[in-house]
Structure 1
Amino acid sequence: MIKTIFGTHDDNTIRQFHNCLKTGQVAGGVLCADGHYGYSQPVGGVVVYDGQVSPSGVGYDIACGNKAVRTNLKYEQVKDKIPSIMDEIANRISFGIGRKNNEKVDHELYDDPDWNVLMDIGQQEHDKLKKLARDQLGTVGAGNHFVDLFVEEKTGDIWAANHFGSRGFGHRTASGFLNLANGRGFSDKAPGESMEQPPTLIDLDTELGDMYMRAMTLAGRYAYAGRDYVMDQVLDILGAEATYEVHNHHNYAWKETHSGKDYMVVRKGATPSAPGQQGFIGGSMGDISVIVEGKNSDENKKAFYSTVHGAGRIMSRTEAAGRMNWKKRTRSGGKISQKQMNDAVQQYGVVLRGGGTDESPFVYRKLESVLEAHKDTIDILHVLKPIGVSMAGANEFDPYKD
């Protein structure tokens, strides 16, 4: 078994990673330098299976990922308009859990034959999930999901990027297949699960395995469609055109060939980085983001062509923002104050819309440190400084386990 660990990690994350490698038909694993404790599999963790897939490893936010585009605008053209631009982004694009898009989006995706896999589960589930997908296409969600503007300081080019996945459709798809894999009905209420939940595995050569892969692939196409739609909205607000783009998932399972053998590579919060493959890696709202490209190196091969998806949390949401009393909608006990966050973001030159202290720069590693740990596996092509950040509001409920 090939096992590669980048960077340093706390004991819980290391233990969880090793537990994943002991469960199922595992050929190898990677823990990226942004790794941290997650649900069932560490975020920043990669597990390589022979003939199996792990829906708990892919996680509840199936196909979460990023789209980044370089526009035809220069910083000098927009520098005085950034506050109004960010106002328009926050007003036009829907952020938050359970949000519906005010503008219904018709898309060829709704004619995809893989919707039939939900018919195999039942007409009612098919109809409910398809309606949810239609309602939420083009909405962003909460947590660490964002729409950002950047400047590439070397060139003055304006970039835009977004980060989110398959929304409630993906979450319910994941919940349903985790139920089925554990002998429950698709829509059953799952029993309380701990972060220490062992990986749930499905054999690929079974009917359930085929169904999950088709449903996961559909959720992946849905996430791509949503990020495309949101990016089109941002470009329209900017009055800009895209001259270059990078688009990738980082919560997904890929069929890949390594050392001449086919495997299922489950990446939870990890970016694919095959030689020549490009990806967007986001830092915090007070740090750089980058466009990277996978190297043709032995180190990258040992990493199963995987790299970080972000800077990686070093402080939990509760530790940063405090405990939430949902009846009173107040928080208490957090380590990071709103003033601390606002001062840090303002000092970095970012116009912020939304966002809570649980997403402040203080809760993340510095991106340069995790990139340094992966320097033998990736090249950095573009370094981007944030100038505008838009996220869900500070007290938005976030039910996701990842």
Structure 2
Amino acid sequence: MGKQKLTIKDLQVISFPTDVARSLALNLMNRHFKHTPNEEKLTLLTDILEQPHRYTQHATLSILAHKLINAPDETPVSETYLLEDEPRHFDMFGSKHIDTNAIQQMELAMRLPIAVKGALMPDAHHGYGLPIGGVLATHNAIIPYGVGMDIGCRMALSILDLPASYTEHRTHELKKVLERETHFGNDGGLEQVQEHAILDHADFQLTDLLKRLHGKAVKQLGSSGSGNHFVEFGTVALYETNTLGLPPGNYMAILSHSGSRSLGANIAQHYTAIAMNRCKLPREAKQLAWLTLDSAEGEEYWLSMNLAGEYAKACHERIHRNLCKALGAKVLSTVENHHNFAWRETLADGNEYIVHRKGATPAAPGIYGIIPGSMVTPGFIVRGLGNEASLNSASHGAGRKMSRQKARETTTMSSMKKMLQAEKVTLMGGSTEESPGAYKDIELIMKSQHTLVDVEGKFHPKIVRMAKD
């Protein structure tokens, strides 16, 4: 008998308590019951729903049975919470580089009743909800604004089989490739239809919100946002001590920074509103409202957040693939990492927590990442040391020392162009908001986190494309 595959549409005849349970049932059936007729699969699922206790010892279906037995109560309940009188302790790295308002924001977060551990990275500055550069561990709770609006915003570096000198001798060609193969801004997308397995991900069919967002995700795949998002051609200098499996020396590379586009922003807005309605906090802390992971909304957000993270990764994959194809180049090594995300992690005390990294790079032992500077300063290829005090985290960049408004008010396009020319960097698009002078000194930031990461090499930007002012 051939393989029979269930679809989300097939499961509409069965009333599952949550979308997560439906997704789990679909995956189990299609993975472990491939040769079972669909009618028999539906009969089996109906029986599990009616009598889940009969299947708690089943080799493959016990996970679904336990999920159904412990199904969350979907009745909307609003609860009011008070903050602790004093913040729990949190460690700071490079505190002399961190503004008082970012520290105060972190102190507020550490007064939440769900807060367990926290840390501030040296690039930290004021943000919405958690400060940018804030790391927060909670017990069984997810804070949508603690993840941020741009869910799964990430860095991706591709080291190419082209010499570093390519960026000097082929500048015109590289600018044309960037212009043709990348797209920036909140509207539109690439002219060429982009293909990726993420667009067929079953989770897009699990909630009404994700169904509505699928069309926009198709259109925006392989594009980048505005603000500090970029795609750059540059050079990489790998150190003698690097562990990437490549000989030390200089290479051409692609570096990109962007996130999950409209998909992530809409997920963040939707579930932040739900969290603020369910979880009532004092006015100064209302943006830190959370969802418990044993609630239907919490499960939905967790599923949606992870899908947005995969989508962000897919966008970078398309960007790098399109550029490499246009150049006829091959990728020798890739370094990439999320920020603006939350992970289930077991910390040194042996307990599992939800670790939010709002503008912070994962830096568990041996984990690679890329920490950028600015348009004219280097980015650092790093390998995590696993510092428990930082919750296995490091900075996600140099960090802003000026707000976007102050950068606009104090920097002219003419003066910014002079800075770029002095460093032989070509800028396509961009604005004074992202002027190099708006950022902290990346070298000082890296010195402040020498106990968090080892440096494997440096990336130097040469041709930078960003959204227009």
Q: Distance in 2 between matches of 1:70 and 1:214?
A: 32
- Code of the residue aligned with 1:59 in structure 2: it is G
TM-score (norm: length of structure 1): 0.87
Aligned sequence identity (%): 33
Task: Measure how far apart 1:115 and its partner are.
Answer: 1.8
Which position in structure 2 is the counterpart of 1:308? 395
Contact 1:117 1:215 in 2 (8 A): no
1:15 to 77, 80, 104: 104
Cα deviations across residues 24-55 of structure 1 (Å, max 9, x unaligned)? 31111011000000001100101100111110
Change (3 A) 1:391 1:13: same
Q: Distance in 1 between matches of 2:326 and 2:168?
A: 15
Which position in structure 1 is the counterpart of 2:358? 268
Which position in structure 2 is the counterpart of 1:42? 131
2:384 to 276, 290, 294: 294
Task: Measure how far apart 1:384 and its partner are.
Answer: 1.5
Change (3 A) 1:195 1:387: farther
Contact 1:34 1:309 in 2 (8 A): yes
Contact 2:141 2:291 in 1 (8 A): yes
1:147 to 231, 235, 260: 231
Task: Measure how far apart 1:196 and its partner are.
Answer: 6.5
Secondary structure at the counterpart of residue 152 of structure 2: coil
Which position in structure 2 is the counterpart of 1:160? 254
Q: Distance in 1 between matches of 2:167 and 2:139?
A: 50
2:416 to 328, 336, 341: 341
Q: Distance in 2 between matches of 1:99 and 1:106?
A: 16
Runs of 4+ off more than 6 Å: none
Cα deviations across residues 43-68 of structure 1 (Å, max 9, x unaligned)? 01011001111101101100000110
Secondary structure at the counterpart of residue 214 of structure 1: helix
Secondary structure at the counterpart of residue 398 of structure 2: coil
2:343 to 249, 254, 258: 254
Counterpart check, 1:228 vs 2:317? yes
Q: Unpaired segments of 5 or more residues in structure 2?
A: 1-87, 239-248
Which position in structure 2 is the counterpart of 1:330? none
Q: Distance in 1 between matches of 2:365 and 2:206?
A: 34
Q: Distance in 2 between matches of 1:83 and 1:365?
A: 31
Task: Measure how far apart 1:301 and its partner are.
Answer: 1.4
Task: Measure how far apart 1:90 and its partner are.
Answer: 2.3
Contact 2:141 2:290 in 1 (8 A): yes
Secondary structure at the counterpart of residue 162 of structure 2: strand
Which position in structure 1 is the counterpart of 2:465? 390
Counterpart check, 1:92 vs 2:181? yes
- Code of the residue aligned with 1:132 in structure 2: it is K
Q: Distance in 2 between matches of 1:24 and 1:303?
A: 20
Q: Distance in 2 between matches of 1:134 and 1:153?
A: 36
Q: Give RMSD over aligned pairs.
A: 1.6
Secondary structure at the counterpart of residue 388 of structure 1: strand
Contact 2:128 2:287 in 1 (8 A): no
Which position in structure 1 is the counterpart of 2:142? 53
Task: Measure how far apart 1:107 and its partner are.
Answer: 2.3
Contact 2:142 2:293 in 1 (8 A): yes
Change (3 A) 1:245 1:6: same
Q: Distance in 2 between matches of 1:393 and 1:237?
A: 23
Would you say how many aligned residue pairs link Structure 1 and Structure 2?
Answer: 365
Cα deviations across residues 82-132 of structure 1 (Å, max 9, x unaligned)? 2330232023311111222222223222232222332xxx3xx44420111
2:407 to 290, 299, 320: 320
Q: Unpaired segments of 5 or more residues in structure 1?
A: 185-193, 322-333, 395-402
2:332 to 236, 243, 250: 243
Contact 2:181 2:319 in 1 (8 A): no
Cα deviations across residues 181-238 of structure 1 (Å, max 9, x unaligned)? 2339xxxxxxxxx996541211111111111100000001100100100011221233
Kindly indicate which of the two structures has a greater share of residues assigned to strand: 1
Bigger shift: residues 75-84 or 347-356: 75-84
Secondary structure at the counterpart of residue 28 of structure 1: strand
TM-score (norm: length of structure 2): 0.75
Contact 2:177 2:326 in 1 (8 A): yes
Contact 1:2 1:302 in 2 (8 A): no
Q: Distance in 2 between matches of 1:181 and 1:387?
A: 43
Kindly indicate which of the two structures has a greater share of residues assigned to helix: 2
Change (3 A) 1:127 1:212: closer
- Code of the residue aligned with 1:282 in structure 2: it is P
1:102 to 184, 188, 191: 191
Counterpart check, 1:138 vs 2:225? no
Counterpart check, 1:115 vs 2:204? yes
- Code of the residue aligned with 2:330 in structure 1: it is E
2:151 to 40, 62, 80: 62
Secondary structure at the counterpart of residue 461 of structure 2: strand
Contact 2:367 2:383 in 1 (8 A): yes
Secondary structure at the counterpart of residue 222 of structure 2: coil
Task: Measure how far apart 1:153 and its partner are.
Answer: 4.3
Cα deviations across residues 244-294 of structure 1 (Å, max 9, x unaligned)? 001211110000010211000000000000000000111100100011001
1:285 to 356, 368, 375: 375
Q: Distance in 1 between matches of 2:150 and 2:166?
A: 36
Secondary structure at the counterpart of residue 168 of structure 1: helix
